Amino acid sequence: MESTKASTQTKNQLWAKKSITKLMEETSADPTSLDPISQEGTLKRTLTSTNLIALGIGAIIGAGLFVRTAAAAGGHAGPGVTISFAIAAFACALAGLCYAEFASMIPIAGSAYTYSYTTMGEFIAWIIGWDLVLEYALGAATVSIGWSQYLNALFYDFFKFHIPYQWCHSPFQISDGLGMYAGEAGVHGIINLPAVFILLMLSLLLIRGTQESATFNNIIVIVKVSIVLLIIALAWKFINPANHVPYLIPADAGTATLSTGQIHNYADPLNHGWLGVLRGAGIVFFAFIGFDAVSTAAQEAKNPQKDMPIGILVSLAICTFLYILFSHVLTGLAPYKEFMGHGGEASVVYAITHYMPGYEWLASLVTVAILAGFSSVILVMLLGQTRVFYTMSKDGLVPAIFSKLHPKYKTPYRSQWVFFVFVSIFAAFIPDSVVGDMTSIGTLFAFVLVCLGIMILRKTDPNLVRPFRTPMYMIVCPLGALVCLSMILSLGWENWTRLIVWMAIGLFIYFAYGRYHSKLRAK
């Protein structure tokens, strides 16, 4: 029997918890009927386990596969980057197991926000709900900026045409006159129009319907996974075993020259050996960000108790397998030091064009795969953000506009438009270097609270029906929280400052609006 503590909470308590039984009652009705709470239609349950797996892969596999692999291998782990991926995957799996239990037990839109509301109370739920804006909304903004850059590169590579600098860059950016913008040094950016364009197109698709969005995502997933598999298959025969010896970077590896002219010293303890592998794990971890977005679609899954764990864990397993294979092939093609002089996204293209004679055309597919990957990541991030605020709105913590559903498509269309404007402002006018790093700290914070939430709920409500149970939770949960917390602590002070400012804004909104409109505290 579920604990009845939630019903005894008073209005002035910040720690009032939502009843899981009440949550289930609110979503057990026919999706086409009227919601007894809001008197409007509820989200339509249209997603299968296959759709959820594809959503997970769509969110996880982006440019991180091409960028993070080279950065970690070249600077810290060498061929041992495959171990770095395994370590990062282990950390994500710990959090993923906790997400899977929550998602099967509480198949409600809202992800970590909803889970925190039932275990730690309204105040913590608000904090994590506000924090998730960093992961989803700002994550979508960051990726849309990257999409704009790669679209421009695609135009230049295939058609020798490029978008004018001022129309695809932030006002805070100035052209250095290199590359495709040779001779245009000093040109100031005005607005990043391609980034706004992709956000608009995907927002319209999400308004049209979750099933239609899932179908589009499935197509993109097939395209980019096919390209990744093609690269792995064709490059395998070009692997030079000598590039994998030694497997970990030795302390006496010397130095490497970066593309900027700076010198990278491998004698640093974090740049060689097992510490280098661990540092590499911290870098490639961010290539896994996105699998938790599957849980935001729980209220639109046909059979969430069964399909949510499958969607979360299977998508994570598939991506881990692809990541390890890809990193093994990439470090086998070229010596790891060469990735330092051809950093970022250029590393994969460099390896293909210099070490796979006759397959130079494959390098062009890398750009196509990255564009496809970015598109699906933006799609899932925008989906996740509106579903979190949909649930927060139903709880009264944010205005009702965020839970207003389209009369025909049953999607939170007004919320989608609000976040399109919000995300577009960041994508159009702020450099990706500012908004990008904030995504990581928001994600890790959510992971920590989800891991702790499982431990709390196992103690407070041990008899709840749990279609999926986190195995060895007394080990998995604290270990998952500890690993994610350690990664948070390793982030720079700039990110902590931005997080504090962002949270201060959120607390002001909560105490000025949320606590007075909370439906739970009004009872």
Q: Read off the DSSP letter of residue 101.
A: H
402 burial level (CB within 10 Å; 0-12, 13-18, 19+): buried
Among 475, 453, 472, CA closest to 464: 453
Q: What is the pLDDT of residues 279-308, one digit of tens each?
A: 888 778 767 777 777 766 666 777 777 777
Residue with tokens 């500890």: 482
pLDDT reading at 28 higher than 80: no
Indicate the SS3 state at residue 250.
coil
Beta strands in 217-332 (DSSP E): 255-257, 263-265
In a 13 Å sphere around the CA of 178, the CA atoms on its Cβ side amount to 2
Q: Rounded to whole angstroms, how far apart are CA atoms 463 and 1? A: 6
What pLDDT, on a 0 to 100 scale, did the predictor assign at position 239? 93
What pLDDT, on a 0 to 100 scale, did the predictor assign at position 64? 66
Quote the percentage of the chain above a pLDDT of 90: 15
Orientation angle between helical segments 64-72 and 346-355, nearest 10 degrees? 80
Q: What is the pLDDT of residues 455-505, one digit of tens each?
A: 988 888 888 788 888 889 999 999 999 888 877 776 667 777 878 888 899
Among 275, 253, 247, 267, CA closest to 331: 247
Residue ranges and CATH numbers for the domains of the chain are 47-517 (1.20.1740.10)
pLDDT tier for residue 380 given thresholds of 50, 70 and 90: confident
434 burial level (CB within 10 Å; 0-12, 13-18, 19+): middle
- Find the DSSP H helices in 44-80: 49-60, 64-72
Q: What is the pLDDT of residues 83-140, one digit of tens each?
A: 989 988 888 888 888 888 887 777 666 677 888 888 888 888 898 888 888 778 887 8
Q: Who wins on pLDDT, 192 or 253?
A: 192
Q: Rounded to whole angstroms, how far apart are CA atoms 162 and 466? A: 54
Tokens of 74: 């070249």
Q: Rounded to whole angstroms, how far apart are CA atoms 271 and 376? A: 33
pLDDT reading at 426 higher than 80: yes
Proportion of the chain in helix, strand, coil states, percent, rounded to 5? 70, 5, 30
Residue with tokens 């970077």: 249
Say what the pTM is: 0.76
Written as one letter, the residue type at 4 is T
Q: Rounded to whole angstroms, how far apart are CA atoms 73 and 79? A: 6
Indicate the SS3 state at residue 301.
strand
Q: Rounded to whole angstroms, how far apart are CA atoms 192 and 458? A: 48
Q: Rounded to whole angstroms, how far apart are CA atoms 119 and 449? A: 10
Around Cβ 34, how many Cβ atoms within 10 Å? Answer: 12
Q: What is the pLDDT of residues 125-165, one digit of tens each?
A: 898 888 888 778 887 887 888 788 878 878 887 788 889 98
What pLDDT, on a 0 to 100 scale, did the predictor assign at position 27? 56
Question: Contact, 113 vs 129, CB < 8 A?
Answer: yes
Q: Rounded to whole angstroms, how far apart are CA atoms 282 and 285? A: 5
For 430, residues 6+ apart whose C-beta sits below 8 A from its C-beta are 141, 170, 172
Q: What is the pLDDT of residues 400-416, one digit of tens each?
A: 999 898 888 888 999 99
Q: Rounded to whole angstroms, how far apart are CA atoms 192 and 231? A: 31
Indicate the SS3 state at residue 41.
strand
Orientation angle between helical segments 64-72 and 273-284, nearest 10 degrees? 160
Among 434, 447, 438, 450, CA closest to 499: 438
pLDDT reading at 203 higher than 80: yes
Residues facing residue 355 across a β-bridge: none
For 304, residues 6+ apart whose C-beta sits below 8 A from its C-beta are 103, 104, 107, 298
Question: Contact, 506 vs 134, CB < 8 A?
Answer: no
What pLDDT, on a 0 to 100 scale, did the predictor assign at position 156? 81
- Chain mean pLDDT for the chain: 80
For 233, residues 6+ apart whose C-beta sits below 8 A from its C-beta are none
Per-residue pLDDT, averaged over 436-444, amounts to: 70
Question: Contact, 249 vs 83, CB < 8 A?
Answer: no
For 107, residues 6+ apart whose C-beta sits below 8 A from its C-beta are 27, 298, 299, 301, 304, 305, 308
To 5 degrees, how large is the angle CA 421–CA 143–CA 200? 35
Residue with tokens 């998508």: 315
Written as one letter, the residue type at 375 is S
Per-residue pLDDT, averaged over 432-449, amounts to: 71
What pLDDT, on a 0 to 100 scale, did the predictor assign at position 159? 81
Around Cβ 356, how many Cβ atoms within 10 Å? Answer: 17
